[in-house]
Chain A
Amino acid sequence: MSAEGSGSRIPDPGSRSVVVQELVKRFGSTTALDGVTFGVEKGELFGFIGPDGAGKTTLFRILVTLLVPGSGRASVLGLDVVREYRALRQRVGYMAGRFALYPDLSVEENLRFFASVFGTTIEREYAQIAPIYTQLEPFKDRRAAALSGGMKQKLALCCALVHRPDILFLDEPTTGVDAVSRREFWDLLGNLKQSGLTIIVSTPYMDEADRCDRVALIHRGRLLAVDAPSAITGAFDRPLLGVRAKERYKALLAMRRYEHAHSVYPFGEVIHYTDIRTDAPVNQLDQELRAFLAASGFADASVEPLTPTVEDTFIARTAASDESRIPNPESRGAA
């Protein structure tokens, strides 16, 4: 079953950089990928958004030919990831989530090493990496282990780009990095996209979805949705209300007891609320919720309609089939 939304075009294998059909991967009794189907267009900046253990790393490892799928098919740049892995390896760039750099080598030595593995040199590829490498050059003699988190990522990105790949896979490049460095990294990816490179990136941060042309929401080895971020949030199936109250936690607990409540979640300083009555007009829901809050002792509470975010959608889709309360051992290292 494809999770592709209405916004995606009819598959044309010629224009697609990645075609994946019914991909399954198990590790012992754990199903890391459970029938994943999607396609990525040439030149797209495509994001996989999901928490740890969702299957992002397993999927990326299969696509960069480091892991063989259990069943299903996958091709990258028109090459089958199993049969044509040798040809494919020359053409993909891969930035693994961790351990991508040699900590005891300097910035320049790391880059030189990765260039030599692919039979090239920093000098020959300078134009490709210059926009990023110029930010690192002042520190080129520093050991990679001594770089700040944001700098390490930029170096890892340079190393993944140095052989001029046709497609780039970045597995959680922004995990554990502060909000400023994350922003800068996405700006870099935006610039790389302008050069025509196809980029596939994974992240656990839902707010990074908006940086992508299209995203796949991934959870427990399955794709919950594949579409443009605006189409994903546009498909949110009921009115969303935001509540502000001084005593936020108490208001939240009170709203959970409201007879019409469908979902009540804190989002920063606002509580996001949906109602079980899907067909009622927003005005009515708004007024009734206001009345309920006032009657419950939250006279200061304000209510306003909100535009759903990707995170709202993710929560709605995962809560609908929530297995998070049922013991479901998941693999740790693998998925």
Chain B
Amino acid sequence: MSDVAIAAKDLTRTFGSFTAVDHISFEVRTGEVFGFLGANGAGKTTAMRMLIGLLAPSGGTARVAGHDVYTESEAIKRSIGYMSQRFSLYEDLTPRENIRLYGGIYGLTRQQIRERTERMLARLGLAGVADEQVHSLPLGWRQKLAFSVALVHEPRIVFLDEPTSGVDPITRRQFWELIYEAASAGTTVLVTTHYMDEAEYCDRISIMVAGRIGAIGTPADLKKQFGVDSIDELFVRLARPTADRIPNPESRIPDPGAAPSERRQ
């Protein structure tokens, strides 16, 4: 039990007549870096929102950090960290203020906040700009800071939704080293990305196709199993059918509490 961070069984979500997530079952082990891939519209954002307690499933079961997604969504929110593309920081606040704000929200003591602030700023090399407003910092710095802020309450699991979108290649790699570091300290990481090379950085990946899990395993095993040279090739082969599926969000029930998805389009 304690070495399974996420366990989903037949997890399903429908919007009207449209089945966005269709009986998916999978497990993520504690300390694993799990890549959650799929074409636009394949259902990964909906699945992720169910796992972080923002959206109630239509069917199936899931436990996240040991908590039930139906009845313990508040406990889930306290046990996880979440970082979306780039919008999780308050840009008019400084790095120091952002850390203090999130630390306060998660109920850390002043002492804890003070210690973690200094540790994080030093680790990220941001001590020199700790009191500058976040919007004046380069995108790559903001993203690394957002990641660290998502970890400020030392969650068991962190969900990263396209965390490296648009950053330069060096920063992208520095970001992945932060991920590895968190994972080697025991934090479970579930990450979505459109960079197929990043899929290969994961311990295991799943590829969602039309609401279902089309493939799941280690990148090396999947390449062997499907006889392809790269995850990019596998993705194109599997995800091809979804391009024709074209889910129509018009048929979805509005969900005012949910974060906007696919905001870059």
Bound complex: CA of A98 vs CA of B166, how far in Å? Answer: 14
Q: Which of B215-265 contact A (CB under 8 A)?
A: 219-220, 230-232, 235-236, 239-240, 242-243, 246-250, 262, 264-265
A143 on interface, CB distance cutoff 8 Å: yes
Whether A149 contacts B248 in the complex (CB less than 8 A), given A179-B232, A266-B173, A324-B168, comes out as no
B154 on interface, CB distance cutoff 8 Å: no
Contacts of B262 on A, CB cut-off 8 Å? 149, 176
Nearest Cβ on chain B to A187's Cβ, whole angstroms: 12
Bound complex: CA of A177 vs CA of B41, how far in Å? Answer: 10
Contacts of B239 on A, CB cut-off 8 Å? 178-180
Bound complex: CA of A318 vs CA of B170, how far in Å? Answer: 8
Inter-subunit contact B264/A175 (CB<8 Å): yes
A82 on interface, CB distance cutoff 8 Å: no
Please tell me the number of chain B residues within 8 Å of chain A, measured between CB atoms: 55
Which segment, of B21-29, B67-75, B113-121, B193-201, faces chain A?
A: B193-201
B264's partner among A176, A265, A268 (CB-CB below 8 A) is: A176
A148 on interface, CB distance cutoff 8 Å: yes
Contacts of A178 on B, CB cut-off 8 Å? 38-40, 42, 194, 235, 239
Contacts of A319 on B, CB cut-off 8 Å? 170
Inter-subunit contact B138/A324 (CB<8 Å): yes
Inter-subunit contact A179/B264 (CB<8 Å): no
Whether A332 contacts B243 in the complex (CB less than 8 A), given A176-B165, A315-B170, comes out as no
Inter-subunit contact B138/A176 (CB<8 Å): no
Contacts of A324 on B, CB cut-off 8 Å? 138, 140, 168, 170-171
Question: Which of A98, A145, A177 counts the most chain B CB atoms within 10 A?
Answer: A177
B180 on interface, CB distance cutoff 8 Å: yes
B162 on interface, CB distance cutoff 8 Å: yes
B123 on interface, CB distance cutoff 8 Å: no
B184's partner among A152, A181, A249, A327 (CB-CB below 8 A) is: A249
Contacts of A35 on B, CB cut-off 8 Å? none
A299-335 toward B: CB 8 Å interface, digit per residue (1/0)?
A: 0000000000001001100110010110111101000
Contacts of B264 on A, CB cut-off 8 Å? 98, 175-176
Please tell me the number of chain A residues within 8 Å of chain B, measured between CB atoms: 53
Contacts of A181 on B, CB cut-off 8 Å? 39-40, 243
Q: Closest residue of chain B to A51, judged by CB?
A: B168
A51's partner among B166, B220, B231, B240 (CB-CB below 8 A) is: B166
Nearest Cβ on chain B to A176's Cβ, whole angstroms: 3
B125's partner among A54, A148, A152, A325 (CB-CB below 8 A) is: A325
Contacts of A207 on B, CB cut-off 8 Å? 196-197, 232
Q: Which of A50-75 contact B (CB under 8 A)?
A: 50-54
Inter-subunit contact A142/B41 (CB<8 Å): no
Which segment, of B1-9, B46-54, B58-66, B129-137, faces chain A?
A: B129-137
Nearest Cβ on chain B to A309's Cβ, whole angstroms: 10
Some 30 contacts from A to B, beta carbons below 8 A apart, are A51-B166, A52-B167, A146-B250, A148-B246, A149-B40, A150-B243, A151-B246, A175-B166, A177-B265, A178-B38, A178-B40, A178-B239, A180-B236, A181-B40, A204-B165, A207-B197, A207-B232, A268-B197, A268-B219, A269-B201, A269-B220, A311-B169, A315-B169, A315-B170, A318-B169, A322-B170, A324-B140, A324-B170, A327-B128, A327-B129
Q: Residues of A at under 8 Å CB distance from B?
A: 50-54, 98, 139, 142-143, 145-152, 175-184, 204-207, 219, 248-249, 252, 265-269, 311, 314-315, 318-319, 322, 324-325, 327-330, 332
Shortest Cβ-Cβ A-B pairs, 9 listed: A176-B264, A268-B200, A51-B168, A52-B166, A329-B136, A268-B197, A149-B40, A178-B39, A249-B180
